Every structure is written in structure tokens, then in C-alpha cells.
Amino acid sequence: MLASIFSLNVLQTALELGCIYALVALALFLSYSILNIADLSTDGCFTLGCAVACQVALTGHPILALVAAMAAGVCSGFVTAFLQTRLGVESIMAGIIVNTGLYTINLAVMGFSSTMSLVKTDTVFSLAKGSLSFLGGWYKLAIALAMILLAGAAMLGFLGTRLGLSIRATGDNAAMVRASSINPAFTITVGLCISGALCALSGGLLAQYQKSCDINVGTGMVTIALASLIIGETLVRQPPQSCAGETLLGKRTMPRRIIGVVFGSCLYRFIVAVALRFNVPAAAMKLVSAIIVAIAISMPAIKEKIAFEQRKHGACRRRVTTGKEGK
């Protein structure tokens, strides 16, 4: 039983999907963790990337399809940022407005059809199958891993530039950034455009991975990405003082935070894959996902509670020991 649940096939599928969905988690890492903006347009932006990639791939250009998906994501991020920075719309409302509008736009991109198929169309995965034949059935994982490594390295390099540091500073204190003669509206716009590009790229990759697109493919994506992000952030969260700044992935640095986000995405997909192996009904998968997300979100509080109880018991033991020595 356990051998079938924790099989190599389950691990492979979880890693493939985890690397693809990690792009969305990285997008949320930039908008939510760095810029401190709750971008709720993620669902629609993911579907937009999926739809655009399908349409372009059908013309015989699967690689260009990913570029087109990213361009569409940039447009989505720009509209969201424009509503926030120029029209004074709150970030949550701006995301809801864009997400609602994207539903009709996505339908239009798909030719007002709810589904699209790429079964008889070349994808980046089918094109690479021949050149990566030495990997056997692991060629899809190699492509997904290469994409997330490139995206992670690019984000790490960008956040170290002057503009990247300005974006990080905007999330920490926008007033200070404004006082330093940096326009926070510009940094927010750039950050949300990059976030949208990553989100749409993930949708484009998933469309070519599963050779199909559905109008509801992005439903709940922001929740899933947030769970992956929180799992990753928990791994690199600053521990209590007794741990001297060390975490499960070492000291809390930007490279380790990005690695933690990717690891969190893969771990989330593995948990979902294991749940499917227990023959969970399809109708109950939303409930299972909700439970996983709830546990992931509450993990930091649970860890703090456990650490507090450990410190309390340690203090009690020391008090008892001191009392006995005094007698």
C-alpha cells in the first residue's frame, strides 16, 4: 500500500507540477512578500497565459507561445498596477476588478469556447523529447526544472539590482522610498508586471504540459500559490532567539527564500498527489485542498506555539532544579 502511494511515478508527477506551479508561487512571492500587495488577479492571469499559449501554439510556435503568454501577463499586471497607483483603487479591489474582467477576455482569446486542445500540436515538451531522449520519461521534469531555475536565477539577479532593491524598499516603507526621490508608483508597476509575467508563464507551461486549456483552470490558483509560498516561507522563517538565526534551509537570505518557495510548491503538489492515491473522490478534492491550505497557513502559528510551550517547560524544569539545589 505504502509502496504504491510513495511510488516513483507519484514523486515525478509532483516534481513536474511543483516546478510549473512554483512560477505562480514566485509571482506571489514578489507581489505579496516583497511588495506587500495582495494581488487577487492571479487566477485570471494564470488562465490568460494558458489561453494565449494555446492559441499561439496552435499556429506551430510553442516557444513563441510562452513569450506571448508572458507578454499577456505583463499587460494584466500593468492594468492592476495602473488601477492602484493612478486611480487610487485598493490593491484587493484592483485585483478583483482585473480578475473579473479577465474572465471575458480569456473567453474571447479562446474563441468563446470553454476548452481548447493541443493533442495534435507540438509543444515545448514534445519538441524536447527527442533531444532529451537519454532522460527517458524524465524529460518533462528536466524542462520544468530548467524553467524554474532560469526564473529563480533571473529574479534573484534582478532583486539585487538598483531597481530590484528599490522594489524591495517599496514593500518595506513606501514613504521612505518616496522621500529618497524614487517613484513608488513606478516600482509597484514594474513589480506587478514581472509578477504577472511569471504567473502567465506558468499557465502557458501547464497548457503545453497537459495539452489542453480550460476556462476554469485558474480557479483557486491564488490560494494554492499562497499555500506553497507560506510553506516555503515557513522553512526560512526567522526562528526563536535560541536558534541563533538558523532555519531549516540555513540563514534567512534571498536565495534561500526563493529556494524555499520552490520547495514549498513541490511539497504541496506531493501532498495532493498522495491524497489522490488514497482514492479521494474528485468532488472532495476542493475540501482536501482547503484543508492543506489551512494547515499550511497555520504552520507558522503552530510552530511558534510549540516553541513557546518548549520554552515554558524548559523554564519550569530549570525553576524546579534551582529550587532543589537551594534546599
* pLDDT the model gives residue 223: 84
CA neighbours closer than 13 Å in the CB half-sphere of residue 236: 22
The dihedral over CA atoms of 182, 188, 194, 195, expressed in degrees to the nearest 10, equals: 150
Return d(Cα 248, Cα 63) in angstroms, integer: 37
Per-residue pLDDT, 277: 77
Q: Which residues of the chain carry a pLDDT beneath 50? A: 240-246
Tell me the DSSP string of 223-259.
HHHHHHHHHHHHHTS---GGGTTEETTEE--HHHHHH
- The single-letter DSSP state of residue 115 is E
Place of cell 506558468: 202
- Residue 325 pLDDT: 63
What are the pLDDT digits (tens) for 186-207? Answer: 999 999 999 999 999 999 999 9
Kindly report, residue by residue over 112-126, the tens digit of the pLDDT. 999 999 998 999 999
pTM of the complete model: 0.87
CB atoms within 10 A of CB 326: 6
User: Residue 60: left (phi > 0), alpha (psi -120 to 50), or beta?
Assistant: left
Query: Given the DSSP bridges, would you call strands 250-251 and 246-247 parallel, antiparallel or unpaired?
Result: antiparallel
**Alpha helices for the chain (secondary structure H):** 2-5, 8-28, 42-57, 62-85, 91-109, 124-131, 139-159, 162-172, 174-179, 184-210, 221-235, 254-277, 285-326
**Total domain count, the chain:** 1
Q: Which residues contact 209 (CB under 8 A, 6 or more apart)?
A: 16, 17, 20, 123, 125, 140, 144
What Rg value do the Cα atoms of the chain yield, rounded?
22
The whole domain housing 216 covers 2-326
Query: 184: buried, middle or exposed (CB in 10 Å: 19+, 13-18, 0-12)?
Result: buried
Q: Of 71, 81, 3, 5, whose CA–CA distance to 39 is shortest?
A: 81
pLDDT of residue 238: 53
Contacts 24+ apart (CB under 8 A), 251-260: 254/156, 254/159, 254/160, 255/156, 257/29, 257/33, 257/232, 257/233, 258/26, 258/29, 258/152, 258/155, 258/156, 259/152, 259/232, 260/232, 260/233, 260/234, 260/235, 260/236
Report CA-CA distances (Å) from 308 to 19, 240, 242, 245, 302: 34, 9, 11, 17, 10
Q: Could you say which DSSP state residue 117 is in? A: E
- The CATH number of the domain holding residue 113 is 1.10.3470
pLDDT score at 276: 77
The phi, psi pair for 182, rounded to 5°, reads: -110, 130
Query: What pLDDT was estimated at residue 130?
Result: 79
